[in-house]
Structure 1
Amino acid sequence: MKFSRTCLVVALCLGLPLTAQAHRSWMLPSATVLSGDDVWVTVDAAVSNDLFYFEHFPLRLANIGSQETSGPRGGRPAVLTISAPDGSKVEPQNGSVGRYRSTFDVPLKQKGTYKLAVVNDGIFASYKDGAQTKRWRGSAEDFAKEVPQNAQDLRASFNQSRMEVFVTAGKPTTETLKTVGSGLELAPITHPNDLVVGTDATFRMLLDGKPAPNLKVTVIPGGNRYRDKLGEMTLTTDAEGKFTVKWPEPGMYWMEAVVQDDNSPAKEVKRRRAAYIATLEVLPQ
């Protein structure tokens, strides 16, 4: 089965190796800190060259609007999960998919911190079929059934990706900040909705529930379309997986960390790529 161009691009951006950071996937909330009653946020989700600018593909989410279903099994859109402050699940509202972005609304009926997460796990493989290179993405179970194990130039890896956004209505809470112990995760020390320009924010990166030392974390302010330089900050976690960011200016920031190792949770393959992406809002003093 062939991978459609759209599904291939989205799969790459959700957890597969990228070339020269050609495209980045992201979710952008209209706000991350709100007050009052009956409040909502609108979220845009896209894959683009420039951060928070719509010019490439919508980020395809299975429970948002009408989605393309072409492509191999496992190439289908990922599922968005919204966790309320008490841990219950919230359904996205008014979802739609346009040419360049997906969009949806989230009602914030409880006070506290919500987490919006897109988690994508599966095996990605490429191999030669004669002169043609074929690509496949799906579950470990389907990998053994659908990919010839003696195929020429077979390359396969288990890919884990997690994309998150945190939104707080009223006073920040911590229930949704809990980690699950799988793949690469952010364990905030500074609350992700308490970020102020000119002050330090400290976070911890975990890999399979344990501190991830010596990990490179990239932080890029939005709006790079209008700058001569990307403006990225490259930070390194310490022995406890911690790193500190000092925000140079207010605005939305994109954060990414990637690990490649031989600790795949699927016995069918050895190689693993784990990625974490977050959008964070930094407020003025």
Structure 2
Amino acid sequence: MLKKTAVVLSTLLLSNSLSAHTLWLLPSHYVLSKQDSWISVDASAANMTFVPDKGISLASLKLHLPDGKVQQVTSVHQGKRKSMADIQLAGDGTYKLEMANPLRFFTSYELNGERKRLMANKQERATQLPAGASKVETTQMRSRNFAYITVNSPTNTLVKLQGEGLEISSKVHPADVVAEEPLHLVFNLDGKPQAGVKGVLSYEGELYRNDAGRIEFETGADGAFSFTPATAGRYLIEASYSADSDSALADKVRESVTYTFEVALP
């Protein structure tokens, strides 16, 4: 069970399931004490937290090194229920595993009573929309799935805000999250705390619980969501933000993040 201490939100709901599959990355280890250690990573698109359902392509899986450099992960296998990767972490510091979709634009419209779509921004769509198209709307989209792994000494290069898209920040380093201690998270859009970010917090083992123990939240003006994990284990946060946009490229913006992390024993 999760013990909530402070949640800045407009609604708080318990939920047993989500309407769509969630893509998550699950490292075998989040904290290591030996250089050159290997970890395995499971990845799946699934309805239940950390219960694999559909294997996914790992072509975009990248490893961010503690110094900020990025390398492609090449030792991968895509299975029917889950995909897997093997990764060796050479030196000390905090690494970041990430699968991210680049910024993209999706235009939907109606033609002869049918809803259709094309990949184009507002400027590009003018030459691509068929005659008679109506109810035209362009959405700017971006998504990130990530997890941090620390070898020996935690470092901060990769956990600092980059100021682009939807990001999560905290005064507690990912390697230092402990059960029975409050965790305060801030959801930022383009480097600033963002109200209206909707998310779900869940944790491993829900297959064996009558109550999945999920918490749905929506951030207030400070962009914050706080909770106290009652038990150690592996947790999942999936969050998204959607709003109208007055940019030259899109009518709406939609950002999403999926973050897995470990809570250590007190």
Q: Where does residue 281 of structure 1 map in the other structure?
A: 262
Aligned mates of 1:284, 1:154 — CA distance in 2: 52
Aligned counterparts, 1:22-37, within 5 A: 22-37=20-35
Q: Where does residue 171 of structure 2 map in the other structure?
A: 189
- How many angstroms does 1:280 deviate by? 0.9
Structure 1 gaps of 5+ residues are 1-18, 63-78
Aligned mates of 2:185, 2:100 — CA distance in 1: 20
CA gap of 1:214–1:145, structure 2 versus 1, over 3 A, is closer
Q: Which moved more, 1:147-156 or 1:221-230?
A: 147-156
- How many angstroms does 1:125 deviate by? 3.3
- How many angstroms does 1:49 deviate by? 1.1
TM-score of the superposition, structure 1-length normalised?
Answer: 0.78
**Contact persistence 2:110–2:135 (CA under 8 A):** yes
Aligned mates of 1:94, 1:234 — CA distance in 2: 35
| Higher percent of residues as helix | 1
- How many angstroms does 1:89 deviate by? 1.6
SS in structure 2 at match of 1:225 = helix
Match of 2:92 among 111, 117, 121: 111
CA RMSD of aligned residues (A): 2.5
SS in structure 2 at match of 1:37 = coil
Aligned mates of 2:69, 2:140 — CA distance in 1: 29
Aligned mates of 1:138, 1:26 — CA distance in 2: 28
- How many angstroms does 1:43 deviate by? 0.8
Q: Where does residue 19 of structure 2 map in the other structure?
A: 21
- How many angstroms does 1:225 deviate by? 2.2
SS in structure 1 at match of 2:202 = strand
CA gap of 1:133–1:243, structure 2 versus 1, over 3 A, is closer
Residue 76 of structure 2 is aligned to residue 95 of structure 1:
yes
Q: Where does residue 123 of structure 1 map in the other structure?
A: 105
Q: Where does residue 204 of structure 2 map in the other structure?
A: 222
Deviations 1:192-243 (A, max 9, x none): 1211111112222111111113544421112222222221123454543333
Residue 58 of structure 2 is aligned to residue 61 of structure 1:
yes
Residue 148 of structure 2 is aligned to residue 163 of structure 1:
no
**Contact persistence 1:50–1:223 (CA under 8 A):** no
Residue 253 of structure 2 is aligned to residue 272 of structure 1:
yes
**Contact persistence 1:184–1:276 (CA under 8 A):** yes
CA gap of 1:44–1:182, structure 2 versus 1, over 3 A, is same
* Amino acid corresponding to residue 56 of structure 2 in structure 1: L
Aligned mates of 2:83, 2:216 — CA distance in 1: 29
* Amino acid corresponding to residue 52 of structure 2 in structure 1: F
CA gap of 1:145–1:44, structure 2 versus 1, over 3 A, is farther
Residue 61 of structure 2 is aligned to residue 80 of structure 1:
yes
| Higher percent of residues as strand | 2
Aligned mates of 1:43, 1:149 — CA distance in 2: 48
* Amino acid corresponding to residue 40 of structure 1 in structure 2: W
Aligned mates of 2:37, 2:131 — CA distance in 1: 52
Structure 2 gaps of 5+ residues are 1-16
TM-score of the superposition, structure 2-length normalised?
Answer: 0.83
- How many angstroms does 1:153 deviate by? 4.1
SS in structure 2 at match of 1:58 = coil
CA gap of 1:107–1:253, structure 2 versus 1, over 3 A, is same
Q: Where does residue 6 of structure 1 map in the other structure?
A: none
* Amino acid corresponding to residue 31 of structure 1 in structure 2: H
SS in structure 1 at match of 2:49 = coil
Aligned mates of 1:149, 1:243 — CA distance in 2: 46
How many residue pairs align between the two structures?
249
Aligned mates of 1:222, 1:149 — CA distance in 2: 51
